[in-house]
Structure 1
Amino acid sequence: MTTQEIVDSKEMKVIVFQLMDKEYAISIDVVTTIEKVLSITRVPNTPDYVKGVINLRGVVTPIVDLRQRFGLPEKEMDDNSRIIIVTTEEFDVGLVVDMANDVIDIREDSIEPQPEVVGTIESEFISGVAKVERRLLVMLNLEKVLQPIKRVSNDER
């Protein structure tokens, strides 16, 4: 890669988090805060992966368990578990993850399109895969992950 190609390549900051043994990433632009697990109030008649809501500094925020959303085995929340609060155009939502690892810069040209993986529920939620040194980061498509929640939120307005 030439020096000019490196200069032309845009970088983006991402939050890296873990579910089971895979590392995922979302753009830091949509992340408001990362919280330790707080008391979650269950809400009736919501999908199983919507754990409930929390009151975060006066804002009632729905909480989504990404393990359940992706059809992965459930895991009790522990000291490493985190809630990543993300902001969409319509509302804030918290994503329960096993661990929030770090914030890194990745070059946009290091993100490859979503691989054709047959039979995995989570594949519809992936926007691409980033290769960073020896790591493979699965880039989430938050729009798809949160789609049903948006419908519920909009219907209630």
Structure 2
Amino acid sequence: METRNDMSPAAGGFQVLTFVLDDEGFGVEIHDIQEVIEYRAVTPVPRTPDFMLGVINLRGKVIPVVDLRRHFAMQRAEPTVDTCIIILHVDIDGERTLLGVLADRVQEVVEIDPDEVSAPPRIGTRIDSDFIQGIVRQEAGFVVLLSLSRIFASAELQAVLERDGDGWEARSTAMSAEAAGDP
């Protein structure tokens, strides 16, 4: 299990982007985030798991988008004006890959003191406790710190993210050409 010491400290603490899924607070370390973008139409990809929404074209790059609500077996929700996509850097077989994660809304970036992080509960959570790096109490409630390495190391997600041939590579070429204005 990852412990608080596995997280990278920044001047005695570390920064976390907090966001909401199904009225619950979650957080990911800021160094794993490239950017946050407004929700946009996602192109579905056939024969992918339910939590895999599809792909988006972000400045000529094809980015797979995952709905953590579905991956965590939460109730589905229609996009709202607050819905956004968090573009993350994740390691897939030692290679940094961009991946979008749907969020109901982004809250803020907060500085977390490592001493304030509690171990995740082993029972009583709606998501697999292996996906939780820790729990932090904030003024507005608890923030569940997600372990991206464990979430995206799950076999099901690995299979989706490693697609090639008629998968991401072909779509990437087609979407990049479309973005450049090529037929």
Q: Which residue of 1 aligns with 2:121?
A: 115
* Structure 2 residue identity aligned to 1:95: V
Instruction: Write 1 or 2 for the structure with the bigger share of strand.
Output: 1
**1:80 paired to 2:88:** no
CA RMSD of aligned residues (A): 1.8
- Counting aligned pairs with the same residue, the percent is 31
TM-score, scaled to structure 1:
0.87
Q: Which runs of 5+ in 1 are unaligned?
A: 1-8
**Equivalent residues in 2 for 1:2-151 (5 A)?**
10-89=12-91, 90=95, 91-118=97-124, 120-133=126-139, 135-147=141-153, 148-151=156-159
Partner SS, residue 46 of structure 2: coil
Q: Look up the equivalent residue of 2:135 and give its one-letter code.
A: V
Displacement of 1:119 after TM fit?
A: 6.5
Q: Is the 8 A contact 1:110 1:132 kept in 2?
A: no
Task: Determine helix, strand or coil for the equivalent of 2:79.
Answer: coil
Q: Does 1:156 align with 2:158?
A: no
TM-score by length of 2: 0.75
Asked if structure 1 preserves the Cα contact closer than 8 Å seen for 2:87 and 2:99, the reply is yes
Per-residue CA distance 1:56-114 (angstroms, 9 max, x = gap): 01110000011101000000011010100001233111000111011111111111111
Q: Which runs of 4+ in 1 moved over 4 A?
A: none
- Uncovered stretches (5+) of structure 2, i.e. residues with no partner: 1-10, 166-183
